[in-house]
A = this chain, B = another copy of it.
Amino acid sequence: MGYFDVASGAPLHDVARQALLASIDEGWADPARLYREGRRARLLLDAAREAAAEAVGCRPDELVFTSSGTRAVHEGVAGALAGRRRAGRRLAVSAVEHSAVLHSAAAHQGAGGVVDEVGVDRTGAVRVAEYAAALRPDTALAALQSANHEVGTVQPVEEVAEACREAGVPLFVDAAQSLAWGPVPGPWSLLAGSAHKWGGPAGVGLLVVRKGVRFAPQGPADERESGRAAGFENIPAIVAAAASLRAVRAEAAADSARLRELTARIRERVPALVPDVEVVGDPERRLPHLVTFSCLYVDGETVLHELDRAGFSVSSGSSCTSSTLTPSHVLRAMGVVSEGNVRVSLPLGVEAAEVERFLDVLPGVVSGVREKLGAPVAGPAGSAEAVTVDALGMVCPQPVIELGRAILSVRVGGTVTVVADDEVAAVDIPAWCFTQGHDYLGATPGPDGATSYVVRRAP
């Protein structure tokens, strides 16, 4: 079976399992108590903190364990913003942060703060100069992920951290996707991680606040974890998390080059095997194990379902696979196709044969879905001068399919106007034009949420 979604969560690593079992008997008591059971728990907690700090590259007293990576982000961003309240109320974030960061930003905005969103290029990376320009005298905090969770692009964290240091702004790094691969370089100020992303148990995150960084924990007071993470410590899980991080680091170092080749092979083969595909994310500066592509004219949910039936578990940033019916904000910010989006994130030690089998299965899955949906096939230009397509009420990927069909009927230089009310069209029609080489002439909003998108046929 091919579980190719470790970016969502990895199965428990054997080292984590062993550490968990061993510490269930030793680490269940309250580490704040002075009796023997409490002292034993405290020793385990201290040792886990030292191990995790060493792996992250910080001092043990700079690191606290939270109940999840999400919590580490929420507490970290809120505490850093409050600690720097005198400096100002601006928060800079990249447009492709994890939702935990963006939800923290939204909460800040809801409380009267200001959020400056820094855009990304078509690979999903921020530009250092653009990020630096977003730092203002009243910027309290800047946030940048170490690597993107949907497309794998590695961000220029070190350079941005330098720019932040020059500007006197602390940088918060969401390192959830990259911590298995190594420490985050550069003079960052705060960092968050999530154990179940690296093969540790769920229920453990870590938050690092460098010495000297102003930090004011928010929410009701609680004395545990230096007042930065409320609630009784889950020591067996913490021990398992720390132990597995060290073990995974060693394995990741050994397997990194091979995984990078496997994902490079997917990057290269998928466009050759499946027509009308866009592979997204930076081809070089990327996580070794993660690759993402979007297939035109299919809906992500059906593709995922068919891949699941074929034994492959992957995820998708397509709108039709999420409860919100909006496409991934990451793909939107990158300006790439969101329909038929597939993210593959390979586990350490995955067999090459499994990846080959995935490549064998994928073309049939995509063509099967396309056939059902009546997707267009590229063809010669037609003769019409201008065609208007009524795609009102249709949802992704249907408006783009209608566009793809209509474009076949117009002459080179002729136009197709798509009238659609699915908001995904605003992402996917321009992205489709980019991938197909046609000219996107723009969109005009109409009544009742309908928008007219105009496309000119290229040769």
Residues of A within 8 A of B (CB): 1, 3, 5, 8-12, 17, 20-21, 24-25, 28-30, 33-38, 67-71, 74, 77-78, 99-100, 103-104, 106-107, 194, 196, 201-203, 205, 219-223, 230-237, 301, 304-305, 307-308, 312-315, 321, 323
Assess whether B33 is in contact with A12, with CB atoms less than 8 Å apart.
no
Kindly provide the distance from the CB of A85 to the nearest chain B CB, expressed in whole angstroms.
14
Cα distance, A8 to B10, chains bound together (Å): 32
User: In chain B, what residue has the closest Cβ to A38?
Assistant: B313
In the complex, which residues of chain B have a beta carbon less than 8 angstroms from the beta carbon of A196? 28, 232
User: In chain B, what residue has the closest Cβ to A224?
Assistant: B70
Assess whether B33 is in contact with A315, with CB atoms less than 8 Å apart.
yes
Given contacts A11-B28, A203-B203, list 19 more A-B pairs with CB under 8 A: A5-B37, A9-B232, A12-B25, A12-B28, A33-B313, A35-B304, A35-B308, A35-B314, A74-B219, A74-B230, A78-B220, A99-B222, A100-B230, A106-B220, A196-B232, A201-B236, A202-B235, A203-B232, A205-B231
In the complex, which residues of chain B have a beta carbon less than 8 angstroms from the beta carbon of A308? 34-36
Kindly provide the distance from the CB of A131 to the nearest chain B CB, expressed in whole angstroms.
22
In the complex, which residues of chain B have a beta carbon less than 8 angstroms from the beta carbon of A21? 21
Cα distance, A230 to B67, chains bound together (Å): 10
Assess whether B5 is in contact with A28, with CB atoms less than 8 Å apart.
no
Assess whether A29 is in contact with B9, with CB atoms less than 8 Å apart.
yes
In the complex, which residues of chain B have a beta carbon less than 8 angstroms from the beta carbon of A220? 74, 77-78, 100, 103-104, 106-107
User: In chain B, what residue has the closest Cβ to A304?
Assistant: B34
In the complex, which residues of chain B have a beta carbon less than 8 angstroms from the beta carbon of A321? 34
In the complex, which residues of chain B have a beta carbon less than 8 angstroms from the beta carbon of A68? 67, 230-232, 234
Which of A104, A236, A314 gathers the greatest number of chain B CB atoms within 10 Å? A236
Assess whether B230 is in contact with A71, with CB atoms less than 8 Å apart.
yes
Kindly provide the distance from the CB of A113 to the nearest chain B CB, expressed in whole angstroms.
12
A-B contact list, 30 entries, CB within 8 Å: A1-B36, A5-B30, A5-B37, A9-B28, A9-B232, A10-B28, A12-B24, A17-B24, A20-B24, A24-B201, A29-B313, A34-B304, A34-B305, A34-B308, A34-B321, A35-B304, A35-B307, A35-B313, A37-B313, A67-B203, A68-B231, A69-B232, A70-B232, A71-B230, A77-B220, A104-B220, A202-B234, A202-B237, A203-B237, A223-B323
Cα distance, A413 to B193, chains bound together (Å): 68
Kindly provide the distance from the CB of A276 to the nearest chain B CB, expressed in whole angstroms.
24
In the complex, which residues of chain B have a beta carbon less than 8 angstroms from the beta carbon of A234? 68, 201-203, 237
Assess whether A236 is in contact with B202, with CB atoms less than 8 Å apart.
yes
Cα distance, A231 to B69, chains bound together (Å): 7
Cα distance, A78 to B21, chains bound together (Å): 35
Assess whether A28 is in contact with B202, with CB atoms less than 8 Å apart.
yes
Assess whether B70 is in contact with A222, with CB atoms less than 8 Å apart.
yes
Assess whether A106 is in contact with B74, with CB atoms less than 8 Å apart.
no
In the complex, which residues of chain B have a beta carbon less than 8 angstroms from the beta carbon of A236? 201-202
Kindly provide the distance from the CB of A20 to the nearest chain B CB, expressed in whole angstroms.
8
User: In chain B, what residue has the closest Cβ to A17?
Assistant: B24
In the complex, which residues of chain B have a beta carbon less than 8 angstroms from the beta carbon of A232? 9, 68-70, 194, 196, 202-203
User: In chain B, what residue has the closest Cβ to A321?
Assistant: B34
Kindly provide the distance from the CB of A71 to the nearest chain B CB, expressed in whole angstroms.
5
Kindly provide the distance from the CB of A110 to the nearest chain B CB, expressed in whole angstroms.
9
Q: Which of B29, B67, B222, B307 contacts A67 (CB 8 A)?
A: B67
Kindly provide the distance from the CB of A107 to the nearest chain B CB, expressed in whole angstroms.
4
Which of A196, A202, A304, A305 gathers the greatest number of chain B CB atoms within 10 Å? A202
In the complex, which residues of chain B have a beta carbon less than 8 angstroms from the beta carbon of A36? 1, 308, 313
In the complex, which residues of chain B have a beta carbon less than 8 angstroms from the beta carbon of A203? 67, 203, 232, 234, 237
